[in-house]
Amino acid sequence: MRHLCRQLMILFCVQIAGMGIGNRVFGQELAINAAQGAAPEASSGISSGMAGAEVVFAVGEWLPMISKTPPDFGPHARRVAEVFRAMGYEPRFRFFSRDDAYDKTLEGEYVATFSQVQSGDRSEQFWLPDHPIAQANQKGFYKPARFPNGLDLKRLDEIRIYGLRAVGVEGHWHGATFRQLGISSDIVRNRKSAWHFLNADRADILIEEEQVGWNDLSAFLGEGARAQYATTETLRSDGMYILFSRHHPMGEILRDQFDGYLDTQAGQAMCRGWRVCRTVASDASNQN
């Protein structure tokens, strides 16, 4: 019954979008817009009641994973587009600052944003899917000039054990996790500030996704600064997820459809290509 009600709501949204209300669905501008024509029936068995509908995600650049520059907007955006097209939708990405994309989704102006870690109170703020779209390998960036013997860290709590001071970014997982582990830290406004804080020797270590960290280091401190830094081993591995808005009328529906598609054989084959599959029992049994 719950599934049926959601599908009826989907059909109702399409009817409203097609009745001259323009780019609005229940007053949410540019969040989900009905597209002309209809996409082929989704092979996953999920209802295509909104087949061909346009889904607009609020996103912020997180180079090299999400970027305005390449035609596919980077590997994370490519994966999201792949899933939603397979579900029968037409995905679109609207770029803001990363913080603004998060806030606009939180407030319900947009239906979803990505890629984010599931941490802190986000389960109360967003509809969280079961399936990640990527895995983030978080490493510690530090200056070998300050630690000539290197930093042989293998766990986050060793930052406290070794008496190191970390710098983190407001709104990220850093603050809550550092407090929980008793790690001495300073939390700054954005990633650029964090890198300048570290570069000024006001902190010993910055934890960041490895590829993103090296990209940010070059962008914020200059290409030549790369030679001044090294990384620890991976201190934490996080699934990276789409966050669906609790304040948008389609948030929960699209979350359920996203998980439903990735639970299918076609969806499992897709995410195995990303190497981040949450294997479902039915798929595992079919592999035997």
Residues 6+ apart with CB under 8 A from 29: 23, 109
Check whether the bond before 115 is cis (ω within 30° of 0): yes
> Which amino acid is it at 255?
R
Give pLDDT, residue 77: 97
Task: State which of 98-102, 133-137, 180-184, 276-280 shows the largest mean pLDDT.
Answer: 180-184
Q: Which domains does the chain possess?
A: 2-132+239-281 (3.40.190.10), 135-235 (3.40.190.10)
Q: How far apart are CA 257 and CA 102, in angstroms?
A: 21
pLDDT tens for residues 9-41? 444 343 223 322 223 332 233 333 333 222 333
The phi-psi region of residue 171 (left if phi > 0; otherwise alpha if psi is between -120 and 50; otherwise beta) is left
Q: Identify the weakest region by mean pLDDT among 35-44, 111-120, 132-141, 268-277.
A: 35-44
pTM of the model: 0.73
pLDDT band at 121 (very low <50, low <70, confident <90, very high): confident
Q: Identify the weakest region by mean pLDDT among 116-125, 133-142, 145-154, 221-230.
A: 116-125
Q: How far apart are CA 164 and CA 179, in angstroms?
A: 14
Query: What's the half-sphere exposure (Cβ side, CA atoms, 13 Å) at 268?
Result: 13
Q: How far apart are CA 86 and CA 257, in angstroms?
A: 11
Residue pair 231/213 in contact (Cβ under 8 Å)? The answer is yes
Q: What number is the average pLDDT over the span 183-188?
A: 98
